[in-house]
Amino acid sequence: MNALLRTVLIEHSREIRDLTIVVAARFTDENAYRIPHRCGNCPIWNLGHLLVIQEDVLLRPFGERGVLPASYPELFGEGTCSCEWNGNRPDWDEVVSLLDPARARAEEFIEGIDLRAPLPDPTLTALGIVLSNAADALSFSTLHEAIHLGVLSTYARLLEEPGDPKAGHPDR
């Protein structure tokens, strides 16, 4: 059962990350920093945030290191906002370039651990979900990314320019 569960969780995580990469390609270096009307953050914050949360819930509780720069939790962590960057904004291309290495690091970790391995300190997420083991952590990380994928998809539609060849369906 552990092998089947591992395969399903990793495949689900890969599918969501693949979609995230497709949607991220719909943004430009310019509109990635724009906050759509009545929205709370910009696209780059959402992308950086899902990367930080993945490392926070999946790797750090087990004492593992990720691939993100040390400054990322301050920029993209829980409770942060792109409006607080004060001109010291992160680089869009850098954030996008970390999507694949972060995925590879997460998969490397998951391949080498018993999914039932308990978290040293069970965690209650902001969504009210209790994470008690590695399987919970990966499952939540994927759910969290899917939520932000939806936000990014909406932002892509809201920020698209008329006549933009990247506009419309995410496969374009």
Taking only the tens place, the pLDDT of each residue in 146-160 is 999 999 999 999 998
Output the pLDDT for position 95. 98
Amino acid at 107: E
List of domains in the chain = 2-159 (1.20.120.450)
Output the pLDDT for position 126. 87
Taking only the tens place, the pLDDT of each residue in 38-97 is 999 999 999 999 999 999 999 999 999 999 999 999 999 999 999 999 888 999 999 999
Output the pLDDT for position 165. 58
> What is the distance between the alpha carbons of residues 116 and 6, in angstroms, rounded to a whole number?
10
Residue with tokens 């990966």: 138
The DSSP result for 15-37, as a single string, is HHHHHHHHHHTT--TTGGG---T
Helix H or strand E encompassing 44: helix 43-54
Per-residue pLDDT band at 166 (split at 50, 70, 90) = low
pLDDT at 163 over 70: no
Q: Per this entry, what is the length of the chain?
A: 172
End-to-end CA distance of the chain: 39
Amino acid at 44: I
> What is the distance between the alpha carbons of residues 160 and 140, in angstroms, rounded to a whole number?
30
